Amino acid sequence: MTYANRLLATSRKKINRLKYKSNLIIIIILLFVLRLAYIAWTPFALSPDEAHYWDWSRRLDFSYYSKGPVIAWVIAGFTSVFGVNAVAVRIGAALFSALTTYALYLFGKDAFKSEKIGFYSAVILNTVPIFSAGSALMTPDMPFVFFWTASIWCVYKALSENHPAWWLGAGALTGAGFLSKYTMALILPCVLLTMLFTEEGKKALKSPWPYVAATVALLISTPVIYWNILHEELTIKHTLGQINPETNKTGLRLGIEFFGSQLALVTPILFVAVAYGIWTAAKTGFKEKNLGLILAFFTSAPVFLFFFFKGFHGKVQGNWAAASYITAAPAALWILYRLLESSGEKAKKMYKLLAFAGITIAVLSSGFAYFPWVAENVGYKTVLYGAPYNRVTAWRELGNRISKTLAEMPPETFIMADSYQITSELAFYVKGNPTTYNYDDGNRRMNQYDLWPGPESLKKGRSALYVKGDNVGAEKEVLRSFEACSKDLLTIYRNDAILKEFSIWRCYNYKGIRKKSGHTKF
């Protein structure tokens, strides 16, 4: 090859690389703007967990009962700039989804040596419901998945280039991920397995930098450690309580439910594609001693299997396994391109058809997740009455009703509810964002409100509004804590059917409630 030909080939590679990168940036910006528009326009209220995290952000701390502090810190940052509103709470979700998209592109192009794989894996990730639907909800998963993806990319660069800066970056990102969600701890055994089974990893273990990275991660995680020391290891107790929560379902049924949730959140064809891709990547990676393939396998399959087997011993939410699909996505594309290169015309058409069908189903599923009321127009009138949509409906109406009722009550009336979900929603949607209190009957699970001053700390003689979900009665202890209580019922309708009901008590002359001690449910 002449010098001119080599120069031309190099130029084409640079142009090709620039094409994928610039196109991806345009897509990321477009998706970010569209998600912001959806967040601003959506009729869905904040979910109870989103409202709860927002309430955390009003009381910034080193950590919280069930999660690390990043979610509260991020929400506090945006609400301090844009005010207390749903867009400010959720804008972080759109931002972190954009960052995750770019981080996956970087990992895919470097680990699989292909701009095309990096580009399309990043784009396809945004079609999958488990990621795309979550991009409009501010949960700890959004910052966590970004830190997970970026950390794995840094680990790959550290192992392949043997440069200390990448190890420091991996350590910092791992620590930040742990402050977001404790699932980040799984990256440590995943990376260790990668290092034990690769030549690059074995070499790195003889240097100080992996241990420096682990130390950096530990140092950044110290806010959570310090908080737990001050609070009798409550996070550990909560996490252990998740292993065997009270349930009437058998282990087999729970396991089947978890597997079914993955088929729904990833869609069946893409689930099979990533499973086959990561398995084939593992076989090829070990055979060819390919660092990228082995790292993709160990940061995917073990994570999924961990939650899969955990699902037989307790309820596992479908989104908990989200991190396992990150490095599996480029692996699925990698095997697809290999199959297309080695197959005949008929097989190529079949693979392309399956890929098209898988992506189409994913796009339609994500579209339905964003616009479920479309189903009402084709006869499915009750789609918004069940999970997950019943978690994001009726809260504005409840807030408006309580705001009006509160204006009719004596000054210094406080608001109390029987669950952290209603307590959080009232704090956000009642006019003026008042401090709300979660009543503890001694039988519910502990939550963050139990660590803050509760109704037992309030002075006697005040009035209160007490709220419970559904048309139910109030606890005897609550009724005894006031001189008089009267019940109202709020019924919220949609399509002439009852969407939700709330029982509201107007209570007068507070006598005090005894604080419960010795929680046994975490």
378 has a pLDDT exceeding 80: no
365 has a pLDDT exceeding 60: yes
Within a domain: 143: yes
451 has a pLDDT exceeding 90: yes
Within a domain: 386: no
* Average pLDDT score over residue span 408-417: 97
247 has a pLDDT exceeding 60: no
Within a domain: 232: yes
Which is it for the CA torsion 396, 64, 212, 205, positive or negative? negative
Residues 291 and 259 in one domain: yes
Give pLDDT, residue 181. Answer: 96
Render pLDDT for 72-115 as a digit per residue (tens, 0 to 9): 999 999 999 999 999 999 999 999 999 999 999 999 999 999 99
Residues 83 and 168 in one domain: yes
* Average pLDDT score over residue span 238-262: 72
Classify the phi-psi angles of 113: left when phi > 0, otherwise alpha if psi is within -120 to 50, otherwise beta: left
Give pLDDT, residue 8. Answer: 45
Q: Higher confidence at residue 288 or residue 377?
A: 288
Residues 366 and 398 in one domain: no
359 has a pLDDT exceeding 60: yes
**Domain limit, last residue, from 370, 386, 403:** 370
Give pLDDT, residue 259. Answer: 87
Residues 405 and 274 in one domain: no
pLDDT-above-70 percentage for the chain:
93
* Average pLDDT score over residue span 45-65: 97
276 has a pLDDT exceeding 80: yes
Render pLDDT for 315-324 as a digit per residue (tens, 0 to 9): 788 889 999 9
Domain that holds residue 121: 18-370
Residues 300 and 424 in one domain: no
* Average pLDDT score over residue span 462-487: 97
Q: Higher confidence at residue 359 or residue 386?
A: 359
Q: Higher confidence at residue 429 or residue 373?
A: 429
Helix (H, G, I), strand (E, B) or coil at 503: strand
173 has a pLDDT exceeding 90: yes
385 has a pLDDT exceeding 80: no
Within a domain: 415: yes
Give pLDDT, residue 518. Answer: 64
Residues 83 and 189 in one domain: yes
Within a domain: 96: yes
* Average pLDDT score over residue span 161-181: 97
pTM of the predicted model as reported, rounded to 2 decimal places? 0.92
* Average pLDDT score over residue span 166-195: 97
Whole-number Å distance between alpha carbons of 118 and 115: 5
* Average pLDDT score over residue span 122-135: 93
246 has a pLDDT exceeding 60: no
* Average pLDDT score over residue span 366-389: 78
272 has a pLDDT exceeding 60: yes
The 3 state secondary structure assigned to 343-400 is: CCHHHHHHHHHHHHHHHHHHHHHHHHHHCHHHHHHHCCCCHHHCCCHHHCCCHHHHHH
Residues 339 and 459 in one domain: no
Residues 135 and 209 in one domain: yes
Residues 56 and 118 in one domain: yes
Tokens in use for 132? 């795309």
Residues 350 and 412 in one domain: no
What's the chain's average pLDDT?
91
7 has a pLDDT exceeding 80: no
Whole-number Å distance between alpha carbons of 418 and 327: 42
Give pLDDT, residue 4. Answer: 47
Residues 122 and 245 in one domain: yes
Within a domain: 7: no
Residues 196 and 123 in one domain: yes
User: Could you identify the residue written with the tokens 């089947």?
Assistant: 256
DSSP 126: T
Render pLDDT for 43-53 as a digit per residue (tens, 0 to 9): 999 999 999 99
Tally of domains within the chain: 2
